[in-house]
Amino acid sequence: MTPAAGSRTGAPSPAAAVPAIDLRGVAKHYPGSVGKAVHALGPLDLQITSGSFVAVVGPSGCGKSTLLRLVAGLEMPDDGTMSRYGTPLDAPSHEVGIVFQEHVLFPWNTVLENVLLPADVLALPKAAARERALRLLEMTGLAAFADHRPQMLSGGMRQRAALCRALLADPRLLLLDEPFGALDALTREELSLELSSLWQDLGRTALLITHDIEEAILLSDRVLVMSPRPGRIRADIAVDLPRPRNADTPRLPRFQELKQVVRDIIFDRPRT
Ligand SMILES: Nc1ncnc2c1ncn2[C@@H]1O[C@H](COP(=O)(O)OP(=O)(O)OP(=O)(O)O)[C@@H](O)[C@H]1O
Ligand SMILES: [Mg+2]
């Protein structure tokens, strides 16, 4: 993946002081099937520093996707307050790019047209959007496939295209819900490293939901471990591994230690 303009410079900007995400006492219930509400999430507090990469792991059904939909402004909590970059978070925003577990590309559109979809919705200037789309396709190794239909691409290539689409409007915040969940282990690791390098080049904030502990550690600055439903943040682990991360990072003794720490918390094993 080739580097992009606007790489991070190291010096924190004043804006970094305002958290990208600030949730206070947030809880969510859904109506249940027999009139009994399902308590899906919280109450929880969560602050995410601008420019950081945070991963969330936790058991199935604990409310991870619910958390992501709340942060995306796609759903509202029934308790607590939420803000995004210092502004009340009460609706979706073009400042947010989302990648879902399924790639959700339109089969009748080419890869380039799919990546350009947000340009129509957000009424972005056409020529600049096209230029950025082509640059993102270049960065993710898809330039030669711009005119192909999604069904002519592999699963990994489709997820790359979905990532390009999420990044088209240059969102300040990237939300990823199991983006590589449906892929084989090798493609998954390859794409994780590509995402890591892309995130570092673009200098944006990212929140990743994943079932994969190694993926969480490989990519993030912090791993949040959630409890079973109703999901609360059981642990917040700083990932003090050097960047840039690469294929050798998982071999570091510290990586293995962190993996064990996260596993012990998930499986509720006391540390000796
Ligand atoms: N739209 C909805 N209506 C009713 N209940 C819902 C809805 N969405 C989620 N739930 C319930 O909320 C709880 C949390 O669901 P959520 O999808 O957030 O879990 P998750 O941690 O993402 O699970 P997984 O790891 O399997 O994707 C579950 O019990 C689920 O049944
Ligand atoms: Mg989910």
Is residue 151 in contact with ligand 1, taking CB distance under 6 Å? no
Query: 68: closest CA among 196, 175, 193?
Result: 175
Q: Are residues 79 and 130 in the same domain?
A: no
Q: How many residues does the chain have?
A: 272
How many CB atoms are located within 10 Å of the residue 180 CB? 25
Sign, CA torsion 55/222/96/11: negative
Distance of alpha carbon 244 from alpha carbon 252, whole angstroms: 13
37 and 139 share a domain? no
Q: 70 in ligand 1 pocket by Cβ < 6 Å?
A: no
Interval 59-109: pLDDT, tens: 999 999 999 999 999 999 999 999 999 999 999 998 999 998 776 899 999
Asked if residue 211 and residue 141 are part of one domain, the reply reads no
| Residue-wise pLDDT tens digits, 177-225 | 999 887 888 888 888 998 999 898 889 999 999 989 999 999 999 999 9
What pLDDT score was predicted for residue 186?
Answer: 86
CA of 179 to the centre of ligand 2 (A): 11
Of 127, 145, 170, the residue at which a domain comes to its end is: 170
Task: Give how many domains the chain has, as a whole number.
Answer: 2
Q: Is residue 82 within 8 Å of 70, Cβ to Cβ? A: yes
Ligand 1 touching residue 171 (CB < 6 A)? no
d(CA 131, CA 125): 10
Last residue of a domain, one of 124, 151, 170: 170
> Which residue from 36, 66, 208 has its CB within 8 A of the most atoms of ligand 1, so it is best to mutate?
66
